[in-house]
Structure 1
């Protein structure tokens, strides 16, 4: 675990011990929290699993929903959350559950838990992923590094061979390649990804088909009355890196595809990756101009009545796989507390 996450865990422990989540819930004007989830898997991650931050166990999800009920927190659809934000008085606190990317394990492991608790949720779908031609590049570089004792990093005419025999070396190599890709323009990132995966015989399309629901599975998942389906672009590109027309096309074409498949035009949107490198004022305005009712980021924070004035830049709190301790759930549920933590992190 990185120093960043070690520090966050220490903060969670201190907050829990001092009962700060309870105090913030009493004193804060925050009405609720939108939680971000990706994968739900029963197995414990391996020692080298940098993407474990994106997965929680079904048991932990089940406990979260039980604990929310004990704390008097309602799990509500995103449209009801907006109604509660607009109410003149602060009522019962609420949680909105959101899932990104349409992972197949959501159908197998998350849906039964959600149904058992009658917990509504929103699923944000990148349509190329469901077509089986998406590029889950963050998982691809983990999959390649985990089985290699060394990997070749090429930049221009230079090739460097990096040892990846130990877990520490694998993590270092992953972080180096991950952040190199994050900082590249999308066209250059795609070229680097194609070069890296081809060098190790990695089939991105096969990986996508194995990890993501196909349209038949998605119909089963999205057909549950608990589900609100939302858009998540076509290719899961970081929109801030694209020319404005391409960014708009990514957003609106995903809506068109979902409408063609389900007969429902999504009103809600999630920005891929969702941080400052991926979306900003230009994208927030674009989502508003394209007619989305809401659009969610991954910037941490609670929901307040003033968010009604910026519905295409809503904060979310990641239900992070590194923090699956029962005592941390009270921290995750505290919108006011995460607003303050978000300010400290910035």
Structure 2
């Protein structure tokens, strides 16, 4: 219990520190200082876009923004002089001499609310965007473990889970206990055998009435909805693997097939090969130089990480940074601060 409370305290302290840093970056940007940090522009990462719904236990809240905040973010970037371009056109934009910064919007995993709530905002502002499709979610063969885990822990006061040494009972009656369990199981999943750990999670959750594949069906777009999304000329699809596993932990052939097969699945939906790819999780050590080479060899024009940063003309097009629009920091000032690149200069100092 004490460990869970300590995690919550550290979490709130960290959020307060980040908010303070973003406020400072916003003021520096408004004053015209460190203008070179903005460089050529930025790619933004989103996941859920949906109306706010207060949940008692919500460990994935950082992956969710409201349509109203997306609207504010677009307006803030437009006021700051950004030009919105499709992600697949980014190489041409970075190579051009035009000094106007560019912004690209990307949405990972293919949530249904991207069609229901994000699309109307993008259409209102004529902003292009790319949805990265995990084929296993579309075909209901793979689960979103972080969503399964959140639903399972929310529904129970005690759980049993096998960390590889036999089942262990965990009391999770408090929010601190639920967060501690979420963190511990998530860390276990991020170990070497991700597929095995996710399968164990799905089995354990099923005993308590949680259907992992039903969650995927409820939350993500199927082929028909993705086709409906593509009726908008602003929308494009990118590949995001079959299983959403950390590619750097897979063997050479398995990693290659994750990229290749997901590209072919997106082609079957969209009618053309996708030119963009997003690495699952997207941060080191889930992505390595091997995956950058694979993406290039398989013909993707761009591939994106979740490493934070702004864009430069000489950037590796198969290891591009992105800026997350985080659900904890839904403020237009913070969008401008992040796009300025100043927080990343501070982080690198």
Describe the SS at the equivalent of 1:258: helix
Contact 1:274 1:297 in 2 (8 A): yes
* Alpha-carbon shift at residue 94 of structure 1 (Å): 1.6
Aligned counterpart, 1:343: 348
Q: CA deviation at 1:6?
A: 3.4
In structure 2, runs of 5+ residues without a counterpart are: 1-7
Structure 2 residue 72 is matched with structure 1 residue 72: no
Moved more, 168-177 or 108-117: 168-177
- Greater shift, 76-85 or 32-41, is seen at 76-85
Output the CA distance in 2 between the equivalents of 1:21 and 1:195.
52
SS at match of 1:61: helix
Hey, what does 2:41 align to over in structure 1? 32
Q: Could you say which residue in structure 2 is the equivalent of 1:183?
A: 191
Alignment of 1:99-114 (within 5 A): 99-114=107-122
Q: What is the distance in 2 between the residues matched to 1:228 and 1:295?
A: 14
User: Which of 328, 331, 337 is 2:334 aligned to?
Assistant: 328
- The CA RMSD measured in Å over matched residues stands at 1.9
After superposition, the C-alpha distances for 1:61-102 in whole angstroms (9 at most, x for unaligned) are 0111111111111221123332221123x5111210001111
Q: Deviations over 1:131-180 (max 9, x none)?
A: 12221001110100011112223234443322222222211111111111
Contact 1:317 1:338 in 2 (8 A): no
The answer (yes or no) to whether the contact 1:186–1:242 under 8 Å persists in 2 is no
C-alpha distance in 2 between matches for 1:342 and 1:312: 23
CA shift in 2, pair 1:188/1:133, >3 Å:
closer
**Cα deviation, residue 237, structure 1:** 1.4
Match of 1:259 among 267, 281, 296: 267
Match of 2:206 among 169, 191, 198: 198
Where do residues 1-346 of structure 1 align in structure 2 (5 Å cutoff)?
Answer: 2=11, 3-16=13-26, 18-20=27-29, 23=32, 26-28=35-37, 30-88=39-97, 91-307=99-315, 310-334=316-340, 336-343=341-348
1:21 positional shift: 6.1
May I ask how many residue pairs the two structures share in their alignment?
339
CA–CA separation in structure 2 for the residues paired with 1:306 and 1:59:
34
Question: Could you say what secondary structure the match of 2:32 adopts?
Answer: helix
Q: Given the two structures, how large is their TM-score scaled by the length of structure 2?
A: 0.91
Deviation of residue 29 (structure 1)? Answer: 6.1
**Structure 1's 187 and 331: CA in aligned 2 closer, same or farther, altered over 3 A?**
same
The answer to whether the Cα contact below 8 Å between 1:132 and 1:212 also exists between their aligned partners in 2 is no
Q: Separation in 2 of the partners of 1:102 and 1:165?
A: 32
Shift of 1:189: 2.0
Q: For the Cα contact (< 8 Å) 2:88–2:275, is it kept in 1?
A: no
Distance 1:22 1:210, change over 3 A: farther
8 Å contact kept, 1:299–1:342: no
- Counterparts of 2:342 and 2:231 in 1: how far apart (Å)? 35
CA distance 1:202–1:82, shift in 2 (3 Å): same
Q: 1:45 to 1:281 in 2, by over 3 A?
A: farther
